[in-house]
């Protein structure tokens, strides 16, 4: 197996060729924050939180979808990156209706954790208070659009792991929202197998089990990676 070596925050690391920059930063224990990324799913680079500086590249690069290359010099926590991450999280909070106190995911929410990580205690941008619906037509699960951050983990896990492709994105810009089936009520989508993978990987309280109430959601975000290694490498986590 060939290996590439690079420098992350002054520390030399070696990762297998083909590994992403994110894996390299993790090897250096650099704690690059991620929100849309999830092991086992195709990276989409849409949350922009994992942007890092690579010397010699004029642009900031998303660590999740950039391949680590020999000799790269990477900086993950420069002052401007910290500031951009904080602004990004502020934008997330300002564009939706995130009310932690009444949310099923309170204390288990990746967005909430991210606010703590980047040191965001309030948003400098005005809250938009968008009018968004809740889809409670599914017998077991509910989709609350108010809490959706459009990370598309649900879209990807349903398409890539479950193979049902129930979810997709409708509209554009600020009107973007997750749609079930052909923009139908979730409960009417026959393709849905009710497997619950979308609920498990959702980073916020946008998708939850009907049985959960405030602060009771218990996500399981390791599932896609386990299933992928099981299928592709025939390796099971209990072996």
Partner 1 sequence: MPVPPQLRCCDASGCRSAGGQALRSALEGARDAAGLDADALTIKPVGCLRLCGSGPLVACDGPGPTQLFGGVSPEHAGALIAASHAAGLATSHTASGGDALAAHRLDLEDSFFALQQPVVLEGCGQVNPESIDDALAFGTYAQLRRVLQELTPEQVRDEVRRSGLRGRGGAGYPTGLKWDTVALQPPGPRYVVCNADEGDPGAFMDRSVLESDPHRLIEGMAIAAYAVGAERGFVYVRAEYPLAIERLRLALQQARSRHLLGNHIDGTTFNLRLEVRVGAGAYVCGEETALLLSIQGQRGMPQPRPPFPAQSGLWGAPTLINNVETFTAVPAILREGGDWYAAIGTEHSKGTKVFALSGAVVNTGLVEVPMGTPLRTVVEVIGGGVPDGSPIKAVQTGGPSGGCIPAERLDTPVDYESLLELGSMMGSGGMVVMGASTSMPEVARHFMGFSVNESCGKCVPCRAGTVQLAQLLDRFVEHRATPADMERLDALCQMVKVTSLCGLGQSAPNPVLSTLRWFRHEYEAACREPAACVAAGGVEP
CB burial readout 185-203, b (16+ within 10 A) else e: ebeebeebeeeebbbbbbb
- The tokens for 205 are 């309280």
Q: Name which position in 74, 92, 98, 108 contacts partner 1 (CB under 8 A).
A: 92
Integer Cα distance of 233 and 24 in angstroms: 22
* 20-79 residues near partner 1, rule: CB under 8 A: 43-48, 51, 59-60, 62, 65-67
Taking the complex as a whole, the smallest distance from the CB of residue 94 to partner 1 amounts, in Å, to: 7
For residue 51, the minimal CB distance to partner 1 (Å) is 6
CA dist., res. 27 & res. 22, Å (int): 9
Window 125-154: contact mask with partner 1 (x via CB under 8 A): xx-x--------------------xx----
Q: Alpha helix locations (H) across 42-109?
A: 79-95
109 alpha carbon, distance to own chain's centre = 11
From residue 172 to residue 191, the character string flagging contacts with partner 1 as x (rule: CB under 8 A) and all else as - is xxxxx---------------
Compute the least distance from the CB of residue 177 to partner 1, in Å.
9
Query: At 115, is the secondary structure helix, strand, or coil?
Result: helix
Helices (H) and strands (E) in the chain, counts: 6, 10
Rank residues 59 and 234 by Cβ distance to partner 1 and give the closer one: 59
Q: How far is CA 201 from CA 7, 11, 17, 57, in A?
A: 31, 32, 28, 33
Nearer to partner 1, 45 or 137 (CB): 45
**Residue 188 C-beta: closest distance to partner 1, Å:** 22
Q: Does 171 bind partner 1 (CB under 8 A)?
A: yes
Binding site for partner 1 (CB under 8 A): 43-48, 51, 59-60, 62, 65-67, 83-84, 87-88, 91-92, 94-95, 124-126, 128, 149-150, 168-169, 171-176
């Amino acid at each position: 197996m060939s290996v590439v070596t690079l420098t992350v925050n002054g520390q030399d690391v070696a990762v297998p060729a083909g590994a992403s920059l994110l894996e390299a930063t993790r090897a250096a224990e650099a704690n690059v924050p991620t929100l849309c990324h999830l092991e086992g799913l195709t990276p989409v680079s849409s949350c922009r939180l994992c942007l890092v500086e690579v010397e010699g590249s004029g642009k900031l690069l998303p660590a999740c979808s950039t391949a680590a290359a020999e000799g790269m010099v990477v900086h993950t926590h420069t002052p401007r990156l910290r500031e951009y991450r904080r602004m990004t999280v502020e934008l997330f909070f300002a564009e939706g209706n995130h009310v932690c106190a009444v949310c099923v995911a309170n204390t288990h929410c990746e967005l909430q954790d991210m606010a703590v990580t980047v040191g965001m205690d309030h948003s400098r941008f005005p809250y938009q208070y968008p009018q968004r619906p809740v889809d409670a037509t599914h017998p077991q699960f509910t989709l609350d659009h108010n809490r959706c951050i459009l990370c598309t983990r649900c879209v990807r896990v349903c398409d890539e792991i479950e193979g049902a492709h129930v979810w997709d994105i409708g509209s554009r810009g600020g009107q973007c929202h997750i749609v079930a089936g052909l923009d139908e009520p979730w409960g009417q989508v026959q393709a849905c197998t009710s497997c619950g993978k979308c609920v498990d990987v959702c980073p916020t309280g946008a998708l939850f089990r009907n049985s959960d109430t405030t602060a009771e959601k218990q996500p399981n975000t390791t599932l896609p990676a386990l299933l992928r290694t099981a299928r592709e490498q025939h390796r099971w986590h209990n072996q």
